[in-house]
């Protein structure tokens, strides 16, 4: 089965009677000193939390080695090197080989096959999240970060092991991100400009009377309300990002929340102040139209005479 990036592929054989999954992953090197790996994420279709098998040339002998790794948040943020450790999944067998047999050498474009046999939870596991990637350099026995272009950041697939086909898996983080973008584009990019254009051109049409103002106010309020919803979703996205990066209880998150609350407080204060000034000017304008301010001045002048 071809995968969606890096010209990788995977072959699966699942035995329901004992919940055993045989996996063959096909990948290719992008550097003679690079690495190729694939793994399974037990929780979600993302790199963080993946239990991986990574193949690379041994720094001492140059022979192909295959070692297990767990991709935790600190590794993703490059706060610590990726060190080999036993996996906490029921892995029965593992092996790797270069395409071409024992005489094959690791070079740019060399194809590798990684074999693994995994024991799944009987009658409970159907969809399995597969993650794969490759890099250009290994420091000792620690694979370094992979390239970060679109092709390398989309190397995730959820596969139904019963049917052998890719399953549709909804990513809540990505959904919220897309909703945030669409809502803000519509509110700030479409509705609010329409409201401004309405006030600019319709106020001079005498036949409309005050209708232009109500149309303008309604459009602007709709845009601001929708924009507020988009802003709130954006805040949720950021907070979820802190959790994904393992910074859920950090000072960075605290500083973000303090800055955000300060910004909201200042915005509310400015909005209230603008409303007070607007209402005061409207009241003075009404009094001026009714002649109260002018007559008061005349009365004051006549009394001095």
Query: Per the annotation, where are the binding residues?
Result: 180, 216
Which residue, among 152, 231, 133, has the nearest Cα to 185 in the 3D structure? 231
For residues 270 and 273, give the distance between their C-alpha atoms in angstroms, rounded to a whole number.
Answer: 5
CA dihedral 241, 245, 250, 255 (to 10 degrees): -40
> What are the phi and psi torsion angles at 197 (to 5°)?
-65, -35
Residues 6+ apart with CB under 8 A from 216: 195, 198, 199, 202, 203
Distances (CA, A) of 170 to 60, 146, 174, 224, 244: 44, 25, 8, 29, 17
Integer Rg of the chain from CA: 31
Partners of 55 in the β-ladder: 36, 66
Distances (CA, A) of 187 to 37, 143, 182, 225: 43, 45, 9, 8
User: Which residue numbers belong to the known binding site for heme b?
Assistant: 180, 216
List alpha helices for 114-210, DSSP H.
150-153, 172-186, 192-202
Tokens of 5: 């990036």
Which residue, among 28, 4, 35, has the nearest Cα to 145 in the 3D structure? 35
Q: What is the DSSP string of 274-288?
A: HHHHHHHHHHHHHHH
């Amino acid at each position: 089965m071809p995968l969606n990036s890096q010209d990788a592929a995977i072959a699966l054989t699942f035995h329901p009677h004992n919940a055993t999954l045989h996996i063959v992953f096909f990948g290719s090197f992008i550097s003679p000193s690079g690495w190729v790996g694939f793994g399974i994420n037990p929780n979600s279709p993302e790199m963080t939390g993946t239990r991986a098998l990574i193949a690379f040339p041994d720094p001492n002998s140059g022979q192909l080695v295959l070692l297990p790794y767990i991709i935790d948040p600190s590794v993703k943020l490059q706060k610590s090197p990726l060190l080999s450790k036993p996996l906490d999944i029921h892995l029965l067998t593992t092996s790797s080989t270069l395409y071409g047999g024992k005489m094959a050498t690791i070079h740019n474009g060399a194809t590798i096959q990684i074999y693994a046999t995994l024991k799944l939870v009987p009658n409970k596991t159907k969809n399995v999240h597969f993650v794969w990637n490759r890099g250009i350099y290994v420091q000792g026995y620690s694979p370094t970060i992979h390239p970060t272009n679109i092709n390398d950041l989309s190397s995730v697939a959820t596969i139904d092991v019963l049917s052998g086909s890719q399953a549709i898996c909804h990513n809540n983080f990505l959904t919220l991100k897309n909703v945030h973008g669409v809502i803000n584009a519509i509110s700030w990019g479409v509705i609010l400009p329409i409201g401004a254009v309405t006030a600019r051109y319709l106020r001079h049409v005498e036949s409309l009377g005050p209708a232009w103002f109500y149309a303008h106010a309604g459009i602007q309020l709709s845009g601001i309300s929708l924009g507020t919803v988009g802003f709130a979703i954006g805040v949720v996205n950021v907070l979820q990002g802190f959790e994904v990066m393992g910074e859920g209880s950090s000072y960075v998150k605290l500083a973000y929340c303090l800055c955000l609350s300060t910004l909201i407080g200042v915005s509310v204060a400015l909005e209230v102040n603008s409303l007070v000034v607007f209402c005061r000017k409207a009241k003075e304008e009404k009094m001026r139209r009714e002649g109260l301010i002018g007559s008061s001045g005349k009365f004051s002048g006549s009394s001095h005479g």
